[in-house]
Amino acid sequence: MIWQLYKNVAENASFNLGILPKDYFTILKANLGDKFIVEGYFLEDKLVGFTSMFIDNNYLEDHYIGLNYTLNAEFQIYHRMLYEYVRFAIDNRLSIIHFGRTATEIKTTIGAYPKEMKAYLCHQSKIANYFIQPITKNVIAKKYTIRNPFKKIEERELEKG
């Protein structure tokens, strides 16, 4: 079921290099133990979503998620997942959360802010690299509005006064 929920998200993505094998999460957990965590989201005892994350020292990095898009609109599953990453980090005294490169605008609604990143993509085949280069140069991030849920102190003071 986890893999099917992951596949829902992967197939919905505007850019995807491939689909993970069905045993990906099981193998990762077996090899990383407590450094890899998967949490499920249930509605009436049915799994409707999951998050996965890496933990290293004071750092949490979100990994793949999966969700039922039909129920997401009504129950805001994805937004809940973002808050749960924050809760997990606070509960475990982690000082940094890395939310990844997708869905940037909704992540800013909970206080995340974008950081410029660079990506390097290289194939073992020189011929493949020749064809990959023009594609990667044309990958442009979607424009989005940065939202800030935190009011400035001055704004709070004006509301009180």
pLDDT in tens, 107-160: 666 656 566 666 666 778 888 878 777 766 666 666 666 666 666 655 555 555
| Mean per-residue pLDDT, 84-99 | 88
- Show the CA angle centred on residue 41, arms to residues 38 and 47, nearest 5°: 100
Distance CA 44, CA 61 (A): 29
Residue type, 90: I
Q: Tell me what the pLDDT averaged over the chain comes to.
A: 81
Task: Report, as an integer, the average pLDDT of 90-94.
Answer: 92
Tokens of 71: 């129920």
Of 43, 32, 34, 35, the C-alpha closest to 5 is 43
Can you give the pTM of this predicted structure?
0.71
- Domains: count for the chain: 1
Range of the domain at 31: 2-160
Per-residue pLDDT at 52 exceeds 70: yes
CATH number at residue 24: 3.40.630.30
